[in-house]
Every structure is written in C-alpha cells, then in structure tokens.
A and B are shown apart, each in its own frame.
Chain A
Amino acid sequence: MLRFIGRRLLIAIPTLFLVITVAFFMMRAAPGSPFDGERKLSPEIEANVMAKYGMDRPLHEQYAAYLVGVVQGDLGPSLKYKDKSVLQILQENYRVSLTLGLSAIILATIIGVSLGVLAALRQNQTTDYVVMTIAILGVCIPTFVTAPVLVLVIASKLGWLPSAGWNGGALPNLILPIVVLTLPQVAIISRLTRAGMVEVLRSNYIRTARAKGLPENRIVRRHALRAAILPLVSYLGPAAAGLITGSLVVEKIFNLPGLGKFFVISALQRDYTVVMGMVIFYAALILILNLIADLLQAALDPRVRLS
C-alpha cells in the first residue's frame, strides 16, 4: 500500500515537472508581454519592470529560479495584479470553482446512480429507454449550449433566477451554474451505473442471493449496487477534468469570479506566473484525484491488486 503510494508519487513528480516545463516555455514563446498596456511604457521603465521581476535574465536562468521557487512553495508574484502573489489569487478565487465543482459532482453522483440503477432494474422497459435517452441527450448537448439556453429561458424570459453574478454565493445565483455543470456528468454516471448494474445482476452470486430467498430490495442495495458502482470510482479523475473544462464555460457565461475565468483572462494578458500557478494547481489536483481513485478501487474491490 505505502509502496504503491510511493511509486505513484515518484511518477507524479516527473509529470508535474513536465507540466511546468512545457507550460513555462510555451508561455514565454508567446508574442507580447504582460507589460503591454494601453500606453506604451518607455524603454527605461520597461527595463526597470523587467529587472524587478527578473525577466531581464536569460530564459534558462528564469526557469531555474522558477523551479526553485515552486519547490519552496512560492509561485511568485502576479505580473498584472500589483501587490498580489499567485498564491493569494488562487486562494481568493478557488472557493467559487470548488463550490460549483463539488456540488455538481455530488448531485450528479446521487442522480446518476439512482437513474442508472432504475434503468438496469427495468432493463428494456420504458423507464430504461427514458433514462438512456436522457443520458444520450446529456452527452450530446454541450455546456456551452445548455448554459445560454437556460439563461435565456429561465432567467431572462421567466425571470425565476438571476442570469449571472456570484452575489456572495447566494443559492439562487448558484442553481443555474450547478445545473449546467451537473447535466453532462449525470449522463455519463447513469450510463456507467446502468452498464455495471446490468452485468452484476447477471452474475452468479446474485443468483445465489436470490436462491437464498433474500428480498429483491436487499439484493440490489447490499449486493449488487456495491459491485456495480466500482467503475464509477475510476471515473473520478476524468470527472474532475470534465468539471474543470466545464467550469471554464460556466464561469464565463455566468460571470463568476472563479479560477476558470481567471485562467483564460490571465493567459490572454500574458500574466505568466498566474497561468503557471493555475496549470500546476490543476495538474496536481488531477494527479491527486487519480491516486485517490486507484486507492479507493483497491480498497473496495479485493480483486484489484496494487502493484
């Protein structure tokens, strides 16, 4: 177990290193600089600013200095937001993204698993077809379609919910963004659950349970469901990646002050350090979630060996 974690961390570190390296040099290869403003800075001032952030040194030296900083937990200052460090910016903005992402994944799991189980139990009946149609629609209607359509209908025409803004995290402001993020996940989770459930219900130990005369309810809950939702665990990593991608769209449309919105703006403004910080943050997040998924899988399924 510990050896497994150790080995995975040994892979994770070069991965992060690769992420940092590629992102660093890609960002620096981009034309333009963070100090291109509306007014052109005079060459002397620009040289001063560059020197202040150490950007007058050769690129490889900056790269080395940046790596040393990262190892010490220092992601550097923002180049656009004066007096703020990248860590501060991450701290100030992660809450919005975290609230949305967590709510969406929890909701999607509850709804998706219920729908998937329902569909599997009523295989090839109307319920099954309805659920699977919902699942197909959920996969085929992208977030950047559901978000504006919901805003148009529910916020603008009907006026039931606010169309944008964070408003300190008030519930009415949260509903639409969470719904938009949840829908595609519900689709995928219900499909995975249904597939797992259908397979498990056919297996021998379920037949044994039935032969013992256990009530159907108990068979489904205690015996089948446990095995059927195992594939969901390994979906944790991809789900997080999907939510992060979705949050880029949702935070833009609903004008929410989250990390996703920050990322695109910072990349366009060439705020090197902020972009780097976010790439590292998200890469680390996905690596950790994948590790947790593997550990959970092994803990829940005795057939899986950590090697």
Chain B
Amino acid sequence: MTGTILTPGSRVGAETMEKAARGRSLWDDARRRLMRNKAAVGGMIVLGLLVLAAIIGPYFTPYAYDQINKDHVWAPPMTQGHLLGADSLGRDLLARLLTGLRVSLAIGLVATTVSLIIGVAWGAIAGYVGGRIDEIMMRIVDVLYSLPFIFFVILLMVTFGSNIILIFVAIGAVEWLTMSRIVRGQTLSLKHKEFVEAARAAGLGDGGIIAKHIIPNLLGPVVVYVTLTIPAVILAESFLSFLGLGVQPPMASLGTLIANGAQDMELAWWLLVFPSLTMVVTLMSFNFIGDGLRDAIDPKDR
C-alpha cells in the first residue's frame, strides 16, 4: 500500500482514491482481494470451463455416452474418432467423461444445497434461541459427529438400492453438521449486535430477525464453507461409486469411471488416467476457490 501513497498520480493511486470516494463495502474489499489471488482466479477459470464442458459438451461428442460399439472395443485415444479412446464395450470415453462430470457436479451442487438448508436452519435456530434448546440441538450434532457416517451411507445405499435422489439426500444429510456449527457460532456473536436490537425494538419478530438480519450476515463464512463442501460431496459420491454403491451403469460419474478404469488399467491406461485427471483438476479448482474466498472474506487473516 505504501507504493500507492508515494505515487498518487499513478493509475493504481487514482483507482484507489476513486474507490475510496465512492465508499467500499466489505464485499467490494473481499472481491478485490479474491481477484488478486492467482490460484483462486485460476481455479474459477478452470472450473468455469469444466462446468461449461459438462453442460454443453455431451451435445457435441460424436458418440453418445451409452452407445456400445463392438468394433471399437478398447480403441486407444485419437483412433476411430475417439479423442480419449473407448472402453471395454467400445463406448466413447470423452462422452462418458463429460456425462460423468455432469453427474458429479450435479450431485455436488444438489447435495451441498441440501446440507446448506439443513445446516443453516439448524445452526441459526440453535444459536438464536440459545439456552436449553441450543444445548440439546448441538448435543445432537455432537452425537451425529461421532458416528462412522460412511457406514450409514453405505447401509443406506445397500438397503434402498442406489438411486440418484437417495445419493443426493444421503450425502447432503451427512454434510450439514459442520455447517450448523459454523452458523451457530456466528449467530451467537451476531444476536447481541446493536442492529439486531434495533430491529427488535422496531417490532420485528424472531423469524423476521433470523431471516432478514442474521442469515444475510452469515453469508461470508457460509459461502466459504459451501465451496469446500462441494468437493467433499463429489468425493463422497465417487467413493460410493468406486465401491459399486453409487451411480449405476450405463450412467456414469467420475467415481464409476475411475473404478472401471482401475479394473481395466492393464489393458487400457486411458480409462484410468483421464477420469482421474478430471477428478483431481475439479477438486483442486474448488479447493483453490474455497481457500481464496476464505482469505478474502475471513477478517481474522487480514
């Protein structure tokens, strides 16, 4: 910052002064810090491309993801019109990869939304109401925390068969615990702030205060945690799929593709390598964005 002070005529200096004149909100500050973080910006660009590829990509591949072609069994990459090769049934890996990415991202998004809704509601109520109810609600979270959850998800999948809705719900229901703790902590510190008292004095009810004043102010930490939950959910789904309990064929997710790739890797390395790479790149871009957001929003590290 010293540089800008010493050279007030420079472009940077002028920009800073203009911003200062207009007044900057905390969110403006956060956005500027985020944009200066190269890893986070890189993560956003890569993720944007991945999302775009997942949404429109499947319409542009020469083969459908479930199209079996006996003459193309184990076609290596760049042969017979298969950019990334074909699998044991002659299905195009590129098409399957794009579809799998789409499924994985969708699961990440939906399950995270489920966890977001449960977690924010639970945490906000516990923190706001406080007292005995808070204690009971957080004790429940503690108890659930100490369960070997993956076993319950596995049991759930085994019990009710693997359908995609259930995967959404099961994983979402597992991931809300940390969210509720974060939200509760924030709520506790928010509820004694002057603006909440002012709202109460103005006659707003508890529900209104939670919805209009508490939750909007929770946004920062919640956004950070959401960006870190999505990759965790994608991982969880892939883990289930890898064990054969997740998405069922001919549908694909990144996890099923990696599982199939691992089975056939001696014969066709591309079936393992490309899905694995996609998985790692996806997880990394989410993590970079999440870390960048945390550095940008969390006032502790300023």
Contact = CB atoms under 8 A, between A and B. Distances in A.
Interface of A: 11-12, 14-15, 18-19, 22-23, 26-27, 29-31, 136-137, 139-142, 144-145, 147-149, 151-152, 156, 237, 241, 244-245, 248-249, 252-253, 263-264, 267-268, 275, 278-279, 282-283, 286-287, 290
Interface string B77-120: 00000000000000000000000000000000000000000000
A275 B155 contact: yes
Contacts of A237: 146
Contacts of B266: 152, 156
A26 B148 contact: no
B151 A27 contact: no
B269 interface: yes
Contacts of A267: 154-155, 158
Contact of B150 (A27, A147, A244): A244
A290 B146 contact: yes
15 contacts: A12-B146, A14-B143, A26-B156, A136-B284, A136-B287, A139-B283, A140-B231, A140-B284, A141-B283, A142-B238, A145-B280, A148-B265, A248-B239, A279-B155, A290-B146
A287 B137 CA distance: 19
Contact of B151 (A145, A149, A263): A263
A65 to B, nearest CB: 21
Chain A facing B: main interface SS: helix
B265 A268 contact: no
Interface residues of B, number: 41
B239 A245 contact: yes
B157 to A, nearest CB: 9
B158 A30 contact: yes
A267 B129 CA distance: 41
Interface of B: 139, 142-143, 146-152, 154-156, 158-161, 231, 235, 238-239, 242-243, 245, 255, 258-259, 261-262, 265-266, 269, 272-273, 276, 279-280, 283-284, 287-288
A279 B151 contact: yes
Contact of A148 (B238, B262, B287): B262
B143 A152 contact: no
A275 B156 CA distance: 13
A148 to B, nearest CB: 4
A29 B238 contact: no
Given A23-B151, A283-B148, 18 more contacts: A11-B142, A11-B143, A18-B147, A19-B147, A27-B159, A140-B231, A141-B280, A144-B238, A144-B239, A147-B262, A149-B273, A156-B265, A253-B262, A264-B243, A279-B148, A279-B151, A283-B146, A286-B146
